[in-house]
Amino acid sequence: MFSRSSVEEQSPKLLSTLSYVISKLNRLADIMDEVEKLARRHLHYGVQDEHYTQVGRALIWTLEAGLADKWNRDLKEAWTLCYTTLAEAMMKAAKVPEQGLV
């Protein structure tokens, strides 16, 4: 889907985006323009709603496996909320026509 880059290139991009969103959780309205642009780029790559679900599951699984004993219910809920918030905003933005297009 992201044929121009490898998983090794995409993984840091996802983590960077999530870190940025986490830093803005109390001010999500401040980044909605950026989220909408990101959603539109993903739309051009062929990303569909079900892909967000798959990535979310993979993210939570990876965090659980990587954090092992440090993983707990609170972390799972926080990461799930963060990712779900971002994914839902992106899915919603992808359904809105771009301004200026007919």
Among the listed residues 44, 22, 30, 39, the one whose alpha carbon sits nearest the alpha carbon of residue 89:
39
pTM here is 0.72
Give pLDDT tens digits for 5-57. 667 777 788 788 878 877 887 887 888 888 888 888 888 788 899 999 998 99
Nearest one of 99, 84, 92 to 38, comparing CA atoms: 92
Whether residue 39 contacts residue 90, with contact meaning beta carbons closer than 8 Å, is answered with yes
> What pLDDT does residue 99 have?
60
Superfamily of 28-94 according to CATH: Globins (1.10.490.10)
Burial class of residue 39 (count of CB atoms within 10 Å of its CB; 0-12, 13-18, 19+): buried
Interatomic CA distance for residues 95 and 93, integer angstroms: 5
Give me the mean pLDDT over the 52-67 stretch.
Answer: 93
| H helical segments located in 24-48 | 32-45
Whether residue 83 contacts residue 18, with contact meaning beta carbons closer than 8 Å, is answered with yes
> What residue segments make up the domains of the chain, in order of their start?
28-94
